[in-house]
Chains A and B, each alone.
Chain A
Amino acid sequence: MAEGKAKVLHEKEVMVVGGGVCGIQAALDLADKGFQVRMVEREPTIGGRMAILDKVFPTNDCSICILAPKMIMCYNHPNIDVMTYAEVKKVTGKAGDFKVTALKKPRYIEEDLCTGCGDCIEACVLAGEFPNKWDAGIGRRGAVYMPFLQAVPRIAVVDEESCLTLRKEKCKMPCLRACQRKAMNFKQKPAEVTLDNIGAIIVATGLEDYDPSEITEYGYGRYTNVITAMEYERLINASGPTGGHVHRFNDDQRPRRMGFIQCVGARDLRMGNPYCCSVCCMYATKDAMLAREHYPDIESYIFYTDLRAFGKGFDEYIRRGREEYGITYIRAKPGEVTEDPDTKNLFIWYEDLEEGGIKSMEVEFLVLSTAFVPFHGVENLAKTLGVELDEYGFFRAEDDLLNPLDSTRPGILVAGACQAPMDVTDSVEQGGGAANRAAEIIAQAGKKTVKKARKA
């Protein structure tokens, strides 16, 4: 809050691993309490999952509009040192006194010189050649790119695997000439950073979307017009690759009839995800509402297993969806999706649980409401941190009921969707809670030294 005014009041620092909305909240809370915070973010930008959403339920606020100020506040806070494009490699010590080694990956761009003007991005010979994962693969990028418009810090990054120069292939390197600040530096090497004054660590590394290709019956990857919820999110996002226009991939026409299949990759024992992803009922409703807001004549059908509208304002949200936005909710888990080879329309086959019999519904676009799964590489991080994972690969809490934010290693806290699937509200709450616990841990560890000092 008190930008530029806060002072460091405590000797020990707190490390926040992950710069999504949960990590940002934890960092801001601690910084405002007078702690020096070291944030380590794996990606080139902070903001995490929320930064690429269009709207958030249950208020339908513009996601980036409410997050961007926090991202900037976090990055600019004098007590917060944000290290992007870096990963934690080693953790030693104990609660109150950790030593952490992080590896800063080379951006091949000098961070203090880059102004984020984008000249190099335009100059890149491979511009638009690669799917941009921040656009769920729909938007495209070059070898040097900015993840999304509102990225923080606003510094471009060169992707090692895409760049011709870094792949030791021939390139005229127009990016070098384009950059007026001479910020491009292909000689950058990974750099180790050691931080030896860490009192507590907050892990807020978030989640990943389930890849539904293995659920072959729904045809994701096989049928043109079957997409995931995150892909839809980027399509309907005004700052997304299509400028907020939802269109089909075969004919660029906008759909008039859309289907949503819920619990894709959640509550499903086949891939070992028996848990409820806790968000897809709500976000599918949101997605269908947004469709209706963009196109008043669009029809949406949501095929659900159970409608789990458990949070504050959630049930009302569903009711609004039904009554004001004309969403049709159908209780059935479709068995199969088939495609009309000519129109590329999709047929959703389901059992009518009320009247009986199998029906098929023709839709022009099908969104699979995919689940949250632990992020790729979570086992390595858990090993580095010395903490346990639960059977699904989420971080295990020391006590789910009474100590839900502590990991299995004292001094390390786990918050947000890395410990269980959760929505923005819950992640923010957990971020705040973890900040408090971190302060507490440092205070407890400090007390012993104070006592000792008195006795002496």
Chain B
Amino acid sequence: MAERKSAKREPRIVAFCCNWCAYAGADLAGVSRVQYAPNVEIIRTMCSGRLDPAFVVRAFRLGADGVMVAGCHEADCHYISGNQYAKRRVEELYDVLDLAGLGRDRLLLRWINANEGSLFAQTVDDFVDRLSKMSTSPLAGNGQAQPPSKRDFEELVEATGVLNCLECGKCTASCPVARRDPTFSPRRIIERALEDLADEVETDRLLWSCLTCEMCEQRCPSGVQFCDFVRGARAEARRIGSLGRASHTGVALDLMRIQGEKGLKQNRLRAYPEGLKMKTKATGKNDYLYFAGCAPYYQALYSELPVRVGEIPGDAVALLNAVGVRPVVLDNERCCGHDLLWNGDIEGFGNLVKLNARELSATGAGKIVTACPECYRTLKLDYPEHGKFDFEVYHISEVLEERLGKLDLKADKSKVTLQDPCRLGRHLGVYDAPRKLIEESGAELAEMARSRGDAICCGVSSWVSCGRCSKAVQVERLKEAVSTGAGRLISPCLKCSIHFNCALTGELPVPRKEVEIEIVDLTSFLAEAAGLKDGAGRTEKEASGAGKKAAATKKPAAKTSAKSGAAGKKASGAGGKKGSKTTVKGKSSSKGGER
């Protein structure tokens, strides 16, 4: 803490250097006695292609001021194209760093050959120079997380209804994981908990296999809350030193931990297209705050997948505008912490709760609307349990369904099917609102063999585990989707979209045509059906009065905004200088069309 308070310190740099070129270059600099700044710690990788985005994010989380990635010159890679992977990943990370408010300048990519010792030295010196001119990383004080507080295992067993277990095995027989991984059995885990074998439960690798999809809870006749038990046991496991499991080397989780840092100032508004009606302060308790969640980060991280989750926040706000809601949005909104919570990182979650609660309360809004089922669950159920949090929380489908009259949805009549995400469905029981909206859009909804409460999961949860089992679950679900004859799978959850898309990359255990289907986010689907995509309608100041007349005038306006960005910006900036960040006293807000 003390270190953070001091205004300035020497920049600290972590450098990832490839074995064949950059590391050899550094070596040459060393043996040639070339003097360069001692601020760098070098980590050797066999190839710059080994660079996992998680490495960079982890380095920043642990307090690095800058990260340098160095590899062979282009077309010179010892593994043909490894450095191209590094380049692509660094470019993704630029976006992530910009969003997080750390800035892309803290990440450096350089091609340095084995005979370029002096270039290496010069690069380091220049980078130190650049970083010295910048402020110290807001994460500089980060080190090891504090040990989580102790919670009694017996208390957990009692609180989650484990004692009611009849040992009938219905949970295991319902579990999408157990069906593919015979070593996993919720009943056996519960059985061990009943025998008070806390250590065995907490050190078991299988504790991290649970998808927490609540299929078992929904079917359990005795009310055992297995998923809550797993969540609690994971926290206990971390307390005794388990690192748990994390897919993608934990990059998403580290990004969340970074957001739990008080000093961080993110630039989340850059994720919104121009011309939306938003504000930063509420005029009253009836105002909605739109909670965007991690969509922009995931868009950056998973740009290799054909996902467009980054469009969700813009689409959501456009839809809200269309029904007369001008939401409050935050530049420095933090991750809701869902994934940390379900990973057992109670401390990391607690940091985010504290920061969000303060920031959200400061806006004066009384209602929160989100398009992310995970944010929805967490803000609605978990935040109030971790402190004062007086908000009404809604999923966007609920808010839109209530105002269906104001939406002019015109999707084409093609057949679509719908995934029921576990957080939205089984956790919170929202099944009808998305269906109503799809029905209203004009598209034909074909239900999958297992839908609503019986819908199977997307195979991954909270970035805890991903593997063969996940893929098998995903393939099964996609098969169900394809066999409905639908052309598109609509998913109200961006994670489901990402995971299903991921399953479709690479090799498949079944013929591709049995599983291949276009996956569309519900919010984006609705925005498209409402004619709000590609900036259409966003420049329209009277967009709140949707309807045929408004729709007719929308088109030309959209074209102008699309053609000339500057002109569009000017037209759209209802009083705001910074593009989308419009001020409170806009024309439409005075009309009282907020609700």
Residues in chain A within 8 A of chain B (CB atoms):
216-217, 263, 267-270, 305-306, 331-336, 338, 349-351, 353, 356-358
Q: How far apart are the CA atoms of A331 and B179 in the complex, in Å?
A: 18
Give 5 closest A-B pairs by Cβ, nearest first: A335-B173, A351-B169, A335-B174, A333-B168, A268-B221
Nearest-CB residue, chain A, relative to B223: A269
B444-456: CB near A (< 8 Å → 1, else 0) gives 0000010011100
- Chain B hits for A336, CB < 8 A: 173-174, 219, 454
Q: How far is the CB of A377 from chain B (nearest CB, A)?
A: 26
- Chain A hits for B187, CB < 8 A: 351, 353
**Known contacts A332-B170, A334-B173, then 9 further A-B pairs from the complex at CB < 8 Å, ordered by chain A residue:** A216-B454, A270-B220, A333-B169, A335-B173, A335-B174, A336-B219, A350-B169, A353-B167, A356-B185
- Chain B hits for A305, CB < 8 A: 166, 168, 221
- Chain A hits for B449, CB < 8 A: 338
Q: How far is the CB of B226 from chain A (nearest CB, A)?
A: 13
- Chain B hits for A334, CB < 8 A: 170, 173
Q: How far is the CB of B318 from chain A (nearest CB, A)?
A: 36
Check B170 against A335 for contact (C-beta < 8 Å): yes
Check B454 against A358 for contact (C-beta < 8 Å): no
Check A353 against B169 for contact (C-beta < 8 Å): yes
17 example contacts (A-B, Cβ-Cβ < 8 A) are as follows A217-B174, A267-B222, A269-B222, A269-B223, A270-B223, A332-B169, A332-B173, A333-B168, A333-B221, A335-B170, A335-B171, A336-B174, A351-B169, A353-B167, A353-B169, A356-B182, A358-B172
- Chain B hits for A263, CB < 8 A: 221
- Chain A hits for B223, CB < 8 A: 269-270
Nearest-CB residue, chain B, relative to A336: B174
- Chain B hits for A268, CB < 8 A: 221
- Identify whether the interface residues of A are mostly helix, strand, loop, or mixed: mixed
Q: How far is the CB of A58 from chain B (nearest CB, A)?
A: 25
B167-196: CB near A (< 8 Å → 1, else 0) gives 111111111001100100101100000000
Known: A216-B452, A335-B219. A351 touches B166 (CB 8 A): no
- Chain A hits for B166, CB < 8 A: 267, 305-306, 333
B213-226: CB near A (< 8 Å → 1, else 0) gives 00010011111000
Nearest-CB residue, chain A, relative to B180: A358
Q: How far is the CB of A282 from chain B (nearest CB, A)?
A: 19
- Chain B hits for A351, CB < 8 A: 169-170, 172-173, 178, 185, 187
Check B170 against A333 for contact (C-beta < 8 Å): yes
Q: How far apart are the CA atoms of A336 and B173 in the complex, in Å?
A: 7
Q: How far is the CB of A146 from chain B (nearest CB, A)?
A: 39
- Chain A hits for B220, CB < 8 A: 270
Q: How far is the CB of B210 from chain A (nearest CB, A)?
A: 15
Q: How far is the CB of B312 from chain A (nearest CB, A)?
A: 30
Nearest-CB residue, chain A, relative to B222: A269
Interface size class of B (residues with CB under 8 A): 20 to 34
Question: Contact partner of A349 among B164, B167, B179, CB < 8 A?
Answer: B179
Known: A353-B167, A356-B182. A335 touches B175 (CB 8 A): yes
Nearest-CB residue, chain B, relative to A351: B169
Q: How far is the CB of B189 from chain A (nearest CB, A)?
A: 12
- Chain B hits for A349, CB < 8 A: 173-174, 179
Q: How far apart are the CA atoms of A306 and B169 in the complex, in Å?
A: 12
Nearest-CB residue, chain B, relative to A267: B221
Check A350 against B185 for contact (C-beta < 8 Å): no
Q: How far apart are the CA atoms of A332 and B164 in the complex, in Å?
A: 16
Check A270 against B172 for contact (C-beta < 8 Å): no
Check B168 against A332 for contact (C-beta < 8 Å): yes
Q: How far is the CB of A305 from chain B (nearest CB, A)?
A: 5
- Chain B hits for A306, CB < 8 A: 166
Check A216 against B171 for contact (C-beta < 8 Å): no
Q: How far is the CB of B540 from chain A (nearest CB, A)?
A: 44
Q: How far is the CB of A275 from chain B (nearest CB, A)?
A: 12
Known: A217-B174, A267-B221, A336-B174. A358 touches B182 (CB 8 A): yes
- Chain B hits for A350, CB < 8 A: 169, 173
Q: How far apart are the CA atoms of A267 and B221 in the complex, in Å?
A: 7
Nearest-CB residue, chain A, relative to B483: A341
- Chain A hits for B222, CB < 8 A: 267, 269
Q: How far is the CB of B469 from chain A (nearest CB, A)?
A: 13
Q: How far is the CB of B535 from chain A (nearest CB, A)?
A: 42
Interface residues of B in 430-462 (CB under 8 A from A): 449, 452-454
Q: How far is the CB of A142 from chain B (nearest CB, A)?
A: 35
Residue from A338, A353, A358 having most chain B Cβ neighbours under 10 A:
A358
Question: Contact partner of A270 among B175, B182, B221, CB < 8 A?
Answer: B221
Interface residues of B in 350-395 (CB under 8 A from A): none
- Chain B hits for A332, CB < 8 A: 168-170, 173
Q: How far is the CB of A391 from chain B (nearest CB, A)?
A: 15
Q: How far apart are the CA atoms of A267 and B167 in the complex, in Å?
A: 13
Q: How far is the CB of A363 from chain B (nearest CB, A)?
A: 15
Check B221 against A358 for contact (C-beta < 8 Å): no
- Chain A hits for B182, CB < 8 A: 356-358
Q: How far apart are the CA atoms of A118 and B344 in the complex, in Å?
A: 71
Q: How far apart are the CA atoms of A373 and B26 in the complex, in Å?
A: 79
Q: How far is the CB of A357 from chain B (nearest CB, A)?
A: 4
- Chain B hits for A356, CB < 8 A: 182, 185, 188
Q: How far apart are the CA atoms of A315 and B178 in the complex, in Å?
A: 34
- Chain A hits for B219, CB < 8 A: 217, 335-336
Q: How far apart are the CA atoms of A180 and B265 in the complex, in Å?
A: 93
Check A216 against B453 for contact (C-beta < 8 Å): yes
Q: How far is the CB of A259 from chain B (nearest CB, A)?
A: 13
Q: How far apart are the CA atoms of A336 and B220 in the complex, in Å?
A: 12
- Chain B hits for A335, CB < 8 A: 169-175, 216, 219
Check B454 against A217 for contact (C-beta < 8 Å): yes
Residue from B167, B173, B174, B187 having most chain A Cβ neighbours under 10 A:
B173
